[in-house]
Amino acid sequence: MPTLADIQAARERTRGEIVLTPCTRSLVFRDLVDADLHFKFENLHRTGSFKERGALNRLLHLTEEERVTGVITASAGNHAQAVAFHALRLGIPATVVMPETTPLVKVQNTRRHGATVILHGQRFSEAIEESRRLQAERGLVMIHAYDDDLVIAGQGTLGLELAEQVPDVAVVVVPIGGGGIISGTALALRSLKPEVRFVGVEVEAAPSAYLSRQAGRIVEVETSETLADGIAVKRLGDRTFPIIEEHVGEIVVVGEEEIARAILLLLEREKTVVEGAGASTLAALLSGKVRVAPHEKVVAVLCGGNIDVNMVSRIIDRGLVDDGRLARLRVTVRDRPGSLARLTALVAKAGANVLEVAHQREFADISVGEVEIVMHLETRGRDHVEELLVQMRALGVQVEEMAVPSRRHPRPAS
């Protein structure tokens, strides 16, 4: 297990090569989070995530012979970019094994930084297995994404920064994937300030830490697709688990809709682009799953900002639906001229905006003289949707809001 001295040494070793990311008070979430909220903007590193801290510290420990031979790693994206970026800068050949489901932007960025990218498997666990096979076959040095003392020590430099940037911090909320960032940060900060409370946040698609805490041992899960792909890890690290057990007081789990809403609100209010894993901390605070008091200084770590641009519009739409600003209504009216015009006039008078309209006659469960209209609307929020429904029904219009389909959540692997 790394020590505070190891983390302090990592900071000196990487000083000047790692961006000192800001940690600033947020004034735009006071109506939603009743605490003195600060954000640690780890999405502002040159490769878009905190992973540079641990990757660089590990690379700087290579021998001259190892630097010539080269390194290999497995990653869902952020660690891959960090290793590739700093390996190129240091003149070290790097091979990265990534799951085939990795967002395209992360694959392209890793290649752009000079690494040889191999796409293998559907899950991170499969990519790890392939990287270990290639490591043995080619004699490369493994740079593990989180289960490495030097990587953990590098991530812990974040905790040293927090001690200086928010000296009277009371609560720190950090995402959990394999556990590297939270174990290093908690170890560093609680070594200096034992009273600080740490809360880890996982996604429902990969709740390994949450289930491991309940079981008292590392529990593997079958992960599923999630907006928070950066923390969709099958199991905690053997090195990170005991640190988390000692220093992290609580572990909470958030859902996809909660993450989508947090991404959207960070875009709108904080003017910052954060990926799903990074937004999980705000999601936990907004949902009330993390208990905070008005007087407490709370830091939410925004661990990364590498969002696939092909997913951005869907993420925003999902957040808008969850926030009630996109609504889908099923309306049944008499199939007569002017019915649609009267309906859209009603919507306009109520202050909503029609985005899309679809008619159903043949396949709808309605009488011969009726038509079913599905309307996609832009509204001001949940209360506005309810107000619109009341006004429509008051005029005798048959209307119901169409629900978003429920989503499945993973179970522990047997």
pLDDT digits over 302-349, tens only? Answer: 999 988 777 778 877 777 887 788 999 988 888 788 888 888 898 998
Which stretch of 69-73, 92-96, 264-268 has the lowest confidence by average pLDDT?
264-268
Domains by residue range for the chain, with CATH: 4-50+149-316 (3.40.50.1100), 52-142 (3.40.50.1100), 324-400 (3.30.70.260)
pLDDT 10s digits, 337-347:
888 888 889 89
What's the CA gap between 393 and 116, in Å, rounded?
61
Q: Measuring CA to CA, how many Å separate 185 from each of 86, 172, 181, 191, 253?
A: 21, 9, 6, 10, 19
CA 407 centroid distance within chain: 17
pLDDT 10s digits, 391-412:
989 888 888 888 765 544 444 3
pLDDT level of residue 77 (50, 70, 90 thresholds): confident
pLDDT (average), residues 202-226: 94
Residue 414 pLDDT more than 50?
no
Q: Which residues are within 8 A (CB) of 37 and not within 5 positions of it... i.e. 6 or more apart?
A: 25, 26, 29, 30, 285, 298, 300
Residue 56 pLDDT more than 90?
yes
pLDDT level of residue 362 (50, 70, 90 thresholds): low
405: how many CB neighbours lie within 10 A of its CB? 5
Q: Which residues are within 8 A (CB) of 121 and not within 5 positions of it... i.e. 6 or more apart?
A: 99, 100, 127, 129, 130
CA 277-278-283 angle, 5° bins: 85
What's the CA gap between 171 and 250, in Å, rounded?
11
pLDDT level of residue 155 (50, 70, 90 thresholds): very high
pLDDT (average), residues 93-113: 89
What's the CA gap between 169 and 177, in Å, rounded?
23
Q: Is the dihedral of CA 214, 220, 224, 225 positive or negative?
A: positive
pLDDT level of residue 235 (50, 70, 90 thresholds): very high
Quote the tokens at residue 337.
Answer: 């001229």
Q: Is the dihedral of CA 200, 204, 209, 214 positive or negative?
A: positive
- Contact present, 244 and 179 (Cβ < 8 Å): yes
Quote the tokens at residue 108.
Answer: 């392209």
pLDDT (average), residues 383-389: 92
358 - beta bridge partners? 374
Mean pLDDT estimate for the chain: 91
- Contact present, 375 and 356 (Cβ < 8 Å): yes
Residue 367 pLDDT more than 50?
yes
Quote the tokens at residue 282.
Answer: 């705000």
Residue 38 pLDDT more than 60?
yes
Q: Is the dihedral of CA 159, 160, 162, 167 positive or negative?
A: positive
pLDDT (average), residues 259-274: 92
What's the CA gap between 311 and 27, in Å, rounded?
28
pLDDT 10s digits, 16-32:
999 999 999 999 999 99
Torsion from C-alpha of 318, 320, 324, 328, nearest 10 degrees:
-60
Predicted TM-score (pTM) of this structure: 0.85
